[in-house]
Structure 1
């Protein structure tokens, strides 16, 4: 676990936040300059400071472990089967929650499934499989959940990781030559086509990394997490306020700040309905108004009033609502179990555990009802957990 970084050594510098360490590194970089006169120099200083912090992080990966003394005459095969380190018994270790979150996202989490399902809903099933393959190709090189991009990979590398029968499952694969429909494209050409679809999709699944070389691509986490949050927000607005309100929210997200007449034009709704929907969204905190005065006296009658969606505020409020609903569901589960305390005590008896048929018909009906209620509560909690993962951990 220590080698895989699921537990890390407790060091004195861990008492300080990563941002404080970044500020110290930035201050040391500033000492190298007499005068900082351009934005390019500021960016260079920040990049150098971040590189210093990352280098320190890599250097402390194996602190708390002792390297084994390996005989030079030992065979390479035997050497590879043994661990190169022993845990130092004098060093304290703590759980690396960032590593666990990264593992759950890239290996066996609902979040990975949701990303693949999102790509499937936008394009098709094979596109979701390609997205999963991008996650698998870079899972060992990622250090944090909040990275903007995944490690880069080539189309050939992704094609080699895919199963041979992926493109024979019924998804659309156009022939290379339209005049000869029997001529099928190669696997690399098909993967390249799906990568282009994922890259040009408005959700921005894939990003080209030309700075790392030709034909290098990676998952664009920065745009993807924003797109998934927006889709979640729009879905909840549709369920709570209707399709018309969702249309207005989507228009404001796409166009930015608009006045009421512009919203009427884009939404193709009558003025009365638009005004009513905007008032409802304003009371719910989903939209806000930006006042733009025409004159210096800032008179309300001579000012523009622009409507916009404060996305980050909406996401935070939505996460709070998810937490509140989860707590309510847990309280409801506790209440349902307290109501059936007599039945639960009866189910804990050894004779009933050995033979469930000892229960009467009334108790069996009540047990089936309790299991059905608890199952609904747990399913709802699972869906809320998926929402919180998108809003917080992605």
Structure 2
């Protein structure tokens, strides 16, 4: 836990929930697990306010609780998950992703559940007024909800979801030990813990979808289901567990009932942010290949990731499922810019000419023939899987090839790229060059670093110390003799990955806090002007505002827009630096 992280979380909670909830979060973040009796005096709030704040935080998955027996009493302890607080900054990105993939109907359902924290589908129907709509609208709503649940944009809430994984494991361990007649040995205790972890992982990896039920629908015609089926534009409408009646040869005219998926109205659901983080991570990988090569390579990698997304639930997954080149070919968008993506010609001229000597104009991406399109895709696949990053690997030569995405290598590559950008922004291009040399050559003496970077030894030493003070690089001592005398040692510079990531996170946390503080300061400096714009007479007659006031409002809107863009960019850095790490302990919480 970082001081900058706690300060940032307090600012986010204050912005979203107010000062009372902020006081409760600040105490839990500072002192850890506390009971209600301990929390009330430390938060300096009334017991009622603290209980209501805890209810709101538990509702939104920010606070978890666990019961512990103390003497003859059962005491409930509360703890805060800072990771879920930081995710509040991505609310706009999450909503944009859902709208892109599920359409406006899916966005309305997801936004309602996300605003409530935890909600039943019945409550969502009341909020959206589905009961007052027609029969076709109700069918469409049910199909959209079923699609959201099946694709795990929202997941069912169980009684253990408000308890952290560590507490669940401890409770399971206590119950297993109580079944034994004698205290377990160290070997038996290790076996019990391994069994519990395997059971937790098996339940987590289960493909069963909770909350979906099948019902026989005799009042829905096959033609109607076909019209409400998922379209090519990505808008979810209606679904059948066996497809439409026409596709399976079962017609309503024949009197046969059809099986359609529906969602239990009484089951509680919550937004599954881990699933959406996968989409954000995948977009970062696509951007990496787009920047390194071209838009065609990015489109090809996007197609690969789209195939593997179905089996990638969270960023904890290190390797994707294998994908054949045929599947990749089918999922490449028709609008993908493949024409100028790669030169597959075998002659020495870039410009091709016909028999008359006129230059040959390549057709657009949509007009490419199937043979030409496949030729470009296979050539791009060859370039991508031989890339030095090792993100895409060719695992099998069967047919036209089998490919797999190494998300662990992708996380390392993206983190290195992000750290380079942070160092370049904070210190300059020379420091970034020093960092890249150390990353490529590993442990080096400062004289060798100076030679590799073509810098004077004094300037190189000064810049190396700047990076060391920032925690980006570190030194290692190699003694010349057994007495380990400091004057007789080699001091080599190298990159300590863990320390570097911690420093990068501190930079990002501090920058995000500065953005929020700047926005609050700009708003407070123009508070009177903003209050004037909300008056009824000004709303009715905007001419009451002077030209200077209008310019000041435009300036405020421009500043807010720039700060919002900066916040999104910093949050994308945080996603790359920490959230994509498969070894992160926080990724295993609240699963």
Contact 2:431 2:467 in 1 (8 A): yes
| Alpha-carbon distance, 1:64 to partner | 5.2
- Which ranges in structure 1 are unaligned for 5 or more consecutive residues? 29-35, 37-45
Partners in 2 of 1:167 and 1:373 — Cα distance?
35
For 1:330-345, list aligned pairs within 5 A: 330-345=516-531
What count of residue pairs does the alignment treat as equivalent?
Answer: 365
Distance in 2 between residues matched to 1:70 and 1:250, nearest whole Å: 63
What is the SS of the residue equivalent to 1:234?
A: helix
Q: Deviations over 1:298-326 (max 9, x none)?
A: 11122221111122222222222212221
Contact kept in structure 1, 2:338 and 2:373, CA below 8 Å: no
Q: Deviations over 1:134-185 (max 9, x none)?
A: 1212222212223222222112221122244645543332225779968996
Whether 1:115 and 2:285 are equivalent positions in the alignment is yes
- Could you tell me which residue of structure 1 aligns to residue 209 of structure 2? 62
Residues 4-33 of structure 1: CA deviation (Å, up to 9, x unaligned): 3322331548846289869x99xx9xxxxx
1:124 and 1:283 map into 2 onto residues whose CA distance is 37
CA distance in 1, matches of 2:275, 2:336: 31
1:322 aligns with 2:508: yes
Q: Counterpart of 1:138?
A: 308
Q: Using the alignment, how far apart are the partners of 2:270 and 2:483 within structure 1?
A: 59
Q: Counterparts in 2 of 1:280-319, with a 5 A limit?
A: 280-319=466-505
User: Contact (CA 8 Å) 1:225, 1:390: kept in 2 or not?
Assistant: yes
**What 5-or-longer segments of structure 2 have no aligned partner?**
1-147, 177-186, 188-193, 223-241, 251-256, 355-361, 363-370, 581-591
Asked if 2 retains the 8 angstrom alpha-carbon contact of 1:199 and 1:207, the reply is yes
Counterpart for residue 428 of structure 2: 242
Give 1:223 deviation, angstroms. Answer: 1.4
Given that 1:7 and 1:96 are in contact with CA atoms closer than 8 Å, whether structure 2 keeps it comes out as: yes
Residue 82 to residue 388, structure 1, CA distance change in 2 (3 Å): farther
Which position in structure 2 is the counterpart of 1:98?
274
Pair 1:160 & 2:330 matched: yes
TM-aligned CA distance change 1:82 to 1:392, over 3 Å? farther
Paired with 1:239 and 1:366, the residues of 2 have a C-alpha distance of 30
| Aligned equivalent of 1:259 | 445
Aligned-pair distance for 1:112?
4.2
* Separation of aligned partners in 2, 1:86 and 1:263: 62
1:223 counterpart = 2:406: no
- The Cα of 1:50 is off from its aligned counterpart by 8.0
Q: How big is the shift at 1:85?
A: 5.2
> What is the CA distance between 1:265 and its match in structure 2?
2.9
Distance of 2:163 and 2:424 partners within structure 1: 45
CA distance in 1 between counterparts of 2:425 and 2:481 reads 41
Q: CA deviation at 1:269?
A: 2.2
Matched with 2:296 is 126
1:273 to 2:459 alignment:
yes
TM-score of the superposition, structure 2-length normalised?
0.55
Partner of 1:367: 553
Deviation, 1:206, is: 1.0
- How far apart in 1 are the matches of 2:507 and 2:570? 10
TM-score normalised by L of structure 1: 0.79
1:117-149 deviation per Cα after TM superposition (whole angstroms, max 9, x unaligned): 321221112101111111212222212223222
Look up the match of 1:17.
Answer: 165
Residue 266 of structure 1, CA deviation = 2.1
CA distance in 2, matches of 1:118, 1:328: 27
User: Which moves more between the two structures, 280-289 or 50-59?
Assistant: 50-59
Q: Aligned residue for 1:149?
A: 319
Return the alpha-carbon distance in structure 2 between the equivalents of residues 224 and 59 of structure 1: 25
Q: Distance in 1 between matches of 2:393 and 2:215?
A: 42
- Deviation string 1:261-300 (CA, Å, 9 cap, x unpaired) is 3222322322222212112212222211111112221111
Q: Name the CA shift for 1:367/1:168 in 2 (closer, same or farther; >3 Å).
A: same
Of structures 1 and 2, the one scoring higher in RCO (CA 8 A, sep 6+) is 2
